[in-house]
Amino acid sequence: MFANLTALVRSTDAWRRFEIARFHNAALVRARAELNSYRPHELAGDLGISTADIETLAQAEAHRRTELHLARNPQLRAAAAGMAAGYGLAGA
């Protein structure tokens, strides 16, 4: 019975939106961590950015990764269409 209920919940658009938001949040955390691993002089010299640009770039990279995830999982695409502009939980 519990398995049936779980399958029912996971088949809803609300659950799929939650999964998209969770994936997006994880992608954002990873992108921030990658950019924060650089020292300020490495950011400026190697990448041509400042520490003030990290959040904007991390958001853009998380959005890109989420779009790739959605492209690989077409069953999530319909749920994503119902979300707000971002992939945060506010759209769920």
The total domain count for the chain is 1
In a domain, residue 9? The reply is no
In a domain, residue 36? The reply is yes
What does pTM read for this prediction?
0.77
User: What are 41-88's pLDDT values in tens digits?
Assistant: 998 998 899 999 999 999 999 999 999 999 998 888 877 876 755 665
Tell me how far CA of residue 84 lies from CA of 13, 32, 43, 67, 87, in angstroms. 14, 22, 32, 14, 7
Domain span holding position 39: 14-84
Q: Which residue has the tokens 């749920």?
A: 79
In a domain, residue 90? The reply is no
H or E element at residue 79: helix 74-81
Rounded to 5 degrees, what are φ and ψ at 15? Answer: -65, -40
